C-alpha cells in the first residue's frame, strides 16, 4: 500500500475496521471525535453499524449489547467520557464481554483542558472501575502504531474476553504523519462453544487458558449475563468458594498470558548504563533526547512501554539489573513512575521527569534530566511553562499554567 | 534536509487545512512529514496554530523548533509566533490583517485575504492563496504536487478557483520580491 498522510485517530478507525469491528457506539468529545467520524464513514460501507447515543454511559451499554450478540465492538472517548463509562467497563470485566475502549487522553481532572495533550489517565485505565479485576491497556507512539494497536486491541479483547483500553494521547491522536499501512493483518476470531448443553456445555466454564467460550446471543444457546459474581452457569451464586475462584480466574487469565500480551520496544540499549522509560506520544520526544544524549557521550537507551497493563514487571526488574538508573518521562504529575518503582523494587534509582502544563515535552527538557541522572544528581524534575526547574519534591511545585 | 513551517491565525481562516494539504503534498513527493496543531476550545475565533515538519529522514518529536517559515494571518498570531524564527527564516504576513510588523529581517507582506476577495470573490480562498505563497517560499515541495494535493482535498466544483488561488499566492511572492528589488535598486 502506498504512503499517505494520516491522522492517529483516523488510523484507529481504519485498524479497528480491518480487525473486524462492525459496531461502534459513541458520543463525540475532543480529542477523540475523529475516531467516531471515521467509523461513521467506514462502517456503513461494510454492513456495520454506527450509532451516536445520548451520552457516554449509553454508548458503553450499547457496545456491550452488540458484543454479546457477536459483533466486534469499539467505543471512543476522552477523560470525562471515560469516567462515565467506568461502571460498565467493570461490568464487561465481570461478565467477560469483549470490548475495546479508546481513550484519547487530554488534560484533566474533570473538563480540564479539552484540546491539550496529557497522559494522566494511566492509573484510571488500570483502576478506573471498582473491584478487583484485570485489564489490558496499550499505548501507541505513532500513527502506524495506532493502526497496529487498534488491531491488537480488538484481537486481545476477543482472545481474553476482557475490556481493552487503547490508551491514546492527544499527541498521537491528532498527529498527522506519513504512514504505510500493512497489506494484511492477523485476526483472532472469537471462540464458540465446543459442545452442546446436552453434552454439558456451560457458558462460563473456562477453557484450558481460563477464558470461557461464551456463546453469542442468537446462536442457539440460552445465556444469562450478570455483573453479580456467578458460577459456570452464568447465574449468581452467593458462595465464598465461587467468589474467590471467580476473582482469581479474572486475574489469572491475563497474568498467565503475560508473555503473549506484554510488548516493549528497546532503543540504544545494547551497552546502556542508564535508561529512559516512556510511552505514547512522549516517547517520540524522549527518543530524540536519548539520541542527543548519546551524541554527548552518555550511554543511555530507551525502553518504550507499548503494553501499559498488565505492567511489564519482569522486564523492568531485569532492566534495573542492567542499568545504574532509570528516568521515567511522562506527561502527567507522576503515574507510571510508581509502577516502575514497584517493579524495580529498589534495585536502582528511578527518577521522574514530569510535565503537566498543556504542552508536550521539548527534547532539551528530557535531555537535561538525562544529564543529571547520569551525573548522579538526586533530583526529581517538573518542567514548567515558565522554564525548566528541578525540585526535591513535586508537591512543592505550583503549576503556573500554560500560555498556549 | 529539514524544513519547518508554522501556520497561524484565527480559527476558521483555514490555516490547519492549509498545513494538512502541504504535508500531504510533501508525502506524495516521498518525504516524511508530520503535521500537528493547537487551538482553543472554540470552533471559530480562537487562536489557531498548525505546524508542519518535512524531512527526508524519520521525524520523531513532532513540534517545530526554529521554523524556516512562519505564516501569520492575524496580528495576535504574528506577535505570538515569530520569536523563535530561525536566523534566515521568513515571516509571511497578511499585510492588511497584520499592520504592526514584528522586528524580523526577512518579512514577506502580501494582502492574502484581500487578494482572495478581490480576485476570487471570497475570503474562503485566503488559506489556499497563503499555501501558494508558502510553496514558493519553502522551495522544497514541487508546486505541481501542491496543486494535486489541493485538488484532491477540495470539493470538485471549487478546483478551478482553488488552482487560481494557489497561483495568486505564488505570483504574489514573485511580485513582492520584484518590488523589493526595485526599491533597493
Q: Which residues of B touch A385 (CB under 8 A)?
A: none
Q: Which of A300, A306, A293 is nearest to A363 (CA)?
A: A293
Query: Per-residue pLDDT for B184 more than 90?
Result: no
Q: Return the pLDDT at A395.
A: 38
Please check whether residue A4 touches B, CB under 8 A.
yes
Please check whether residue A176 touches B, CB under 8 A.
yes
Strand partners, A104: A168
Q: Return the pLDDT at A164.
A: 99
> Are A174 and B40 within 8 A, CB to CB?
no
Q: Return the pLDDT at B185.
A: 72
Contact predicate A99/A216, CB 8 Å? no
Q: Closest Cα of chain A to B81: distance in Å?
A: 10
- The position carrying cell 452464568 is A234
> Are B27 and A281 within 8 A, CB to CB?
no
Q: How confident is the model at residue B29 (pLDDT cuts 50, 70, 90)?
A: very high
Reading the block at residue A248, the C-alpha cell is: 482469581
| A123-132: pLDDT as tens digits | 999 999 999 9
Q: How confident is the model at residue B42 (pLDDT cuts 50, 70, 90)?
A: low
Compute the Cα dihedral for B141, B147, B148, B154 and give only its sign. positive
Q: Are strands B107-110 and A264-267 parallel, antiparallel or unpaired?
A: unpaired
Within 8 A by CB and 6+ apart from B139, the residues are none
Q: Which domains does chain B have, with CATH numbers?
A: 2-184 (3.40.920.10)
Q: How confident is the model at residue B11 (pLDDT cuts 50, 70, 90)?
A: confident
Q: Return the pLDDT at A173.
A: 98
Distances from the Cα of A314 to the Cα of A19, A139, A261, A272, B62, angstroms: 30, 19, 13, 18, 31
For the CA atoms of B56, B61, B64, B66, the dihedral, rounded to the nearest 10 degrees, stands at -80
Q: Return the pLDDT at A252.
A: 98
Reading the block at residue A12, the C-alpha cell is: 484507529
Q: Return the pLDDT at A391.
A: 46
> Are B20 and A5 within 8 A, CB to CB?
yes
DSSP-derived letter for residue A215 is P
| B61-80: pLDDT as tens digits | 999 999 999 999 999 999 99
Q: How far apart are the first and last CA of chain B?
A: 33
Q: Return the pLDDT at A380.
A: 62
Q: Are strands A274-279 and A300-305 parallel, antiparallel or unpaired?
A: parallel
Reading the block at residue A220, the C-alpha cell is: 442457539
Q: Which helix (H) or strand (E) holds A304?
A: strand A300-305
Q: Return the pLDDT at B172.
A: 98
Q: Return the pLDDT at A29.
A: 97
Q: Which residues of B touch A285 (CB under 8 A)?
A: 60-61
Q: Which of residues 69-128 of A touch B (CB under 8 A)?
A: 114-116
> Are A171 and B61 within 8 A, CB to CB?
no
How many degrees, rounded to 5, is the angle at CA B18 between CA B130 and CA B86?
Answer: 70
How many degrees, rounded to 5, is the angle at CA A399 between CA A395 and CA A403?
Answer: 165
Render each residue's pLDDT in chain A as its tens digit; 404 residues.
589 999 999 999 999 999 999 999 999 999 999 999 999 999 999 999 999 999 999 999 999 999 999 999 999 999 999 999 999 999 999 999 999 999 999 999 999 999 999 999 999 999 999 999 999 999 999 999 999 999 999 999 999 999 999 999 999 999 999 999 999 999 999 999 999 999 999 999 999 999 999 999 999 999 999 999 999 999 999 999 999 999 999 999 999 999 999 999 999 999 999 999 999 999 999 999 999 999 999 999 999 999 999 999 999 999 999 999 999 999 999 999 999 999 999 999 999 999 999 999 999 999 999 999 999 765 566 676 555 545 444 433 333 333 33
State mean pLDDT over B19-33.
98
Q: Closest Cα of chain B to A116: distance in Å?
A: 8
Compute the count of residue pairs across chains A and B with CB atoms less than 8 Å apart: 59
Distances from the Cα of A96 to the Cα of A123, A366, A390, angstroms: 21, 41, 45
Contact predicate A35/A76, CB 8 Å? yes
Q: What is residue A2's three-state secondary structure?
A: coil
- For residues A180 and A388, give the distance between their C-alpha atoms in angstroms, rounded to a whole number: 37
Q: Return the pLDDT at B145.
A: 98
| B68-116: pLDDT as tens digits | 999 999 999 999 999 999 999 999 999 999 999 999 999 999 999 999 9
Distances from the Cα of A168 to the Cα of A11, A67, A277, A363, A395, angstroms: 12, 22, 17, 20, 27
Compute the Cα dihedral for A129, A88, A331, A376 and give only its sign. positive
Q: Return the pLDDT at A381.
A: 65
Strand partners, A168: A104
Kindly report the number of other CB atoms within 10 A of residue A71's CB atom.
Answer: 20
Contact predicate A206/A153, CB 8 Å? no
> Are A5 and B35 within 8 A, CB to CB?
yes
> Are A176 and B65 within 8 A, CB to CB?
no
Q: Which residues of B touch A30 (CB under 8 A)?
A: 41
Q: Which of A220, A237, A217, A241 is nearest to A229 (CA)?
A: A237
Q: Which residues of A touch B31 (CB under 8 A)?
A: 178
| Count of alpha carbons within 13 angstroms of residue A159, beta-carbon side | 19
Q: Which of residues 332-391 of A touch B (CB under 8 A)?
A: 360, 362-363
Give the nearest chain A residue to B63 (CA atoms): A362
Q: Which domains does chain A have, with CATH numbers?
A: 4-179 (3.40.50.970), 263-396 (3.40.50.920)
Amino acid at each position: 500500500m502506498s504512503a499517505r498522510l494520516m491522522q492517529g485517530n483516523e488510523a484507529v478507525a481504519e485498524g479497528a475496521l480491518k480487525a473486524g469491528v462492525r459496531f461502534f457506539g459513541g458520543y463525540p468529545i475532543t480529542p477523540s471525535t475523529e475516531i467516531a467520524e471515521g467509523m461513521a464513514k467506514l462502517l456503513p460501507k461494510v454492513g456495520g453499524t454506527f450509532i451516536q447515543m445520548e451520552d457516554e454511559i449509553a454508548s458503553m451499554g450499547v457496545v456491550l449489547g452488540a458484543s454479546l450478540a457477536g459483533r466486534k465492538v469499539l467505543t471512543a472517548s476522552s477523560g470525562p467520557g471515560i469516567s462515565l463509562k467506568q461502571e460498565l467497563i467493570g461490568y464487561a470485566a465481570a461478565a467477560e464481554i469483549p470490548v475495546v475502549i479508546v481513550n484519547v487522553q487530554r488534560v484533566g481532572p474533570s473538563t480540564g483542558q479539552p484540546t491539550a495533550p496529557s497522559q494522566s489517565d494511566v492509573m484510571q485505565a488500570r483502576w478506573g472501575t471498582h473491584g478487583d479485576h484485570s485489564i489490558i491497556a496499550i499505548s501507541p507512539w505513532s500513527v502506524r502504531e495506532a493502526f497496529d494497536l487498534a488491531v491488537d486491541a480488538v484481537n486481545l479483547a476477543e482472545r481474553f474476553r476482557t475490556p481493552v483500553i487503547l490508551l491514546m494521547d492527544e499527541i498521537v491522536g491528532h498527529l498527522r504523519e506519513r504512514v504505510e499501512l500493512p497489506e494484511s493483518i492477523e485476526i483472532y476470531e472469537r471462540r464458540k462453544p465446543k459442545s452442546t448443553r446436552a453434552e454439558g456445555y456451560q457458558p462460563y466454564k473456562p477453557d484450558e487458558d481460563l477464558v470461557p467460550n461464551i456463546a453469542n446471543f442468537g446462536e442457539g444457546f440460552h445465556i444469562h449475563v450478570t455483573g453479580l459474581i456467578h458460577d459456570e452457569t452464568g447465574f449468581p451464586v452467593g458462595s465464598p468458594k465461587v467468589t474467590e475462584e471467580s476473582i482469581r480466574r479474572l486475574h489469572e487469565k491475563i497474568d498467565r498470558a503475560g508473555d503473549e500480551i506484554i510488548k516493549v520496544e528497546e532503543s540504544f540499549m545494547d551497552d546502556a548504563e542508564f535508561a529512559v522509560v516512556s510511552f505514547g506520544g512522549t516517547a517520540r520526544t524522549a527518543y530524540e533526547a536519548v539520541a542527543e544524549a548519546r551524541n554527548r557521550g552518555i550511554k543511555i537507551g530507551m525502553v518504550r512501554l507499548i503494553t501499559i497493563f498488565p505492567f511489564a514487571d519482569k522486564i523492568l526488574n531485569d532492566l534495573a539489573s542492567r542499568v545504574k538508573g532509570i528516568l521515567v518521562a511522562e506527561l502527567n504529575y507522576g503515574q507510571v513512575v510508581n509502577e516502575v518503582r514497584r517493579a524495580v523494587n529498589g534495585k536502582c534509582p528511578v527518577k521522574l521527569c514530569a510535565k503537566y502544563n498543556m504542552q508536550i515535552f521539548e527534547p532539551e527538557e528530557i535531555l537535561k534530566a538525562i544529564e543529571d541522572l547520569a551525573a548522579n544528581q538526586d533530583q526529581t524534575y517538573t518542567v514548567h511553562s515558565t522554564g525548566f526547574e528541578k525540585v526535591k519534591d513535586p508537591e512543592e511545585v505550583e503549576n503556573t499554567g500554560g500560555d498556549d | 534536509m529539514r524544513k519547518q513551517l508554522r501556520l497561524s491565525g484565527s480559527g476558521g481562516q483555514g490555516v490547519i487545512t492549509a498545513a494538512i494539504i502541504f504535508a500531504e503534498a510533501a508525502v506524495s513527493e516521498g518525504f516524511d512529514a508530520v503535521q500537528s496543531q493547537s487551538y482553543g476550545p472554540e470552533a471559530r475565533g480562537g487562536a489557531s496554530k498548525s505546524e508542519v515538519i518535512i524531512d527526508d529522514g524519520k521525524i520523531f518529536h513532532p513540534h517545530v523548533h526554529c521554523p524556516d517559515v512562519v505564516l501569520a494571518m492575524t496580528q495576535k498570531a504574528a506577535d505570538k509566533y515569530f520569536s523563535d524564527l530561525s536566523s534566515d527564516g521568513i515571516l509571511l504576513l497578511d499585510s492588511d490583517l497584520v499592520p504592526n510588523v514584528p522586528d524580523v529581517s526577512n518579512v514577506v507582506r502580501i494582502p492574502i485575504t484581500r487578494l482572495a476577495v478581490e480576485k476570487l470573490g471570497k475570503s474562503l480562498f485566503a488559506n489556499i492563496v497563503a499555501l501558494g505563497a508558502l510553496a514558493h517560499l519553502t522551495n522544497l515541495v514541487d508546486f505541481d504536487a501542491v496543486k494535486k494535493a489541493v485538488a484532491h482535498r477540495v470539493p470538485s466544483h471549487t478546483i478551478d478557483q482553488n488552482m487560481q488561488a494557489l497561483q495568486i499566492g505564488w505570483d504574489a511572492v514573485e511580485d513582492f520580491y520584484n518590488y523589493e528589488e526595485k526599491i533597493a535598486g
